[in-house]
């Protein structure tokens, strides 16, 4: 995809941020990309999905991506700091990390099965993909565990009462 860098700045030389996306007021004069996961066709023009391009590029550091599909690195930083655009970018980052991790695990499975790699097999057997941190659980983990326990107790309260009544009758 060949990108015309002039379209990323307004007449005063300022970076276009939200207006870069079709979903911002559907302003076809400024819009270059769409937030959607797929390219969008609108009023006779195709708007490439910046999310798709981001994920396809697979650039964890984002520098190559920024220079390839935007004006430059500072332009990308402005997009990231924008409240609306930044939320989308955070989701893209999470999806890219998950995709790369998934790809890595698939490669290790392939190595363990086809190449009989001892290290890959050991990592899989030890469930190496599970981030097992030792030490005291974080406050968030404690709250999550308490919420999970409360949900289970709430869900099974009638069964617990019935079981309690049943055990009392037996005494």
Is the full-model pTM beyond 0.95? no
**What is the number of other CB atoms lying within 10 angstroms of the CB of residue 97?**
11
pLDDT at 147: 87
Report whether 84 contacts 125 (CB < 8 A).
no
Please give the average per-residue pLDDT across 132-160, as a whole number: 79
pLDDT at 29: 86
Region of poorest pLDDT, from 100-104, 143-147, 155-159: 155-159
pLDDT at 27: 84
Average pLDDT, the chain: 89
Q: Is the pLDDT of residue 90 over 90?
A: yes
Q: What is the DSSP letter of 130?
A: S
Q: Is the pLDDT of residue 169 over 80?
A: no
Distances (CA, A) of 54 to 44, 65, 90, 137: 24, 7, 12, 34
Distance CA 38, CA 40 (A): 6
Please count the residues of the chain.
171
Q: Is the pLDDT of residue 152 over 80?
A: no
More confident residue, 108 or 169: 108
Q: Is the pLDDT of residue 171 over 60?
A: no
Per-residue pLDDT tens digits for 96-126: 999 999 999 999 999 988 888 888 888 888 8
Per-residue pLDDT tens digits for 13-59: 999 999 999 998 888 888 999 999 999 999 999 999 999 999 999 99
- Residues facing residue 42 across a β-bridge: 45
CA neighbor of 19 nearest in space, from 6, 5, 34, 1: 34
> What is the DSSP secondary-structure string of 22-60?
TTTTT-TTT--BBSSSS-EEETTEEE-BHHHHHHHHT-T
Per-residue pLDDT tens digits for 122-135: 888 887 877 766 77
Widest Cα–Cα separation across the chain: 86
């Amino acid at each position: 995809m060949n990108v015309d860098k002039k379209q990323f700045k307004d007449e005063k030389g300022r970076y276009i941020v939200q207006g870069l996306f079709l979903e911002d007021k559907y302003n076809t004069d400024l819009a270059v990309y769409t937030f959607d996961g797929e390219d969008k066709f609108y009023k006779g023009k195709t708007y490439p999905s910046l999310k798709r391009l981001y994920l396809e590029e697979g650039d964890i550091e984002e520098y190559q991506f920024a220079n390839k599909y935007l004006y430059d690195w500072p332009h990308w930083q402005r997009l990231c700091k924008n409240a609306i655009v930044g939320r989308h970018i955070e989701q893209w980052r999470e999806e890219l990390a998950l995709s790369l991790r998934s790809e890595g695990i698939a490669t290790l499975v392939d190595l363990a099965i086809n190449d009989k790699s001892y290290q890959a097999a050991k990592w899989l057997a030890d469930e190496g993909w599970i981030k097992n941190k030792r030490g005291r659980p974080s406050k968030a983990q404690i709250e999550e565990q308490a919420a999970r326990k409360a949900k289970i107790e709430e869900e099974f309260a009638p069964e617990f009462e019935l079981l309690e009544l049943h055990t009392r009758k037996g005494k």
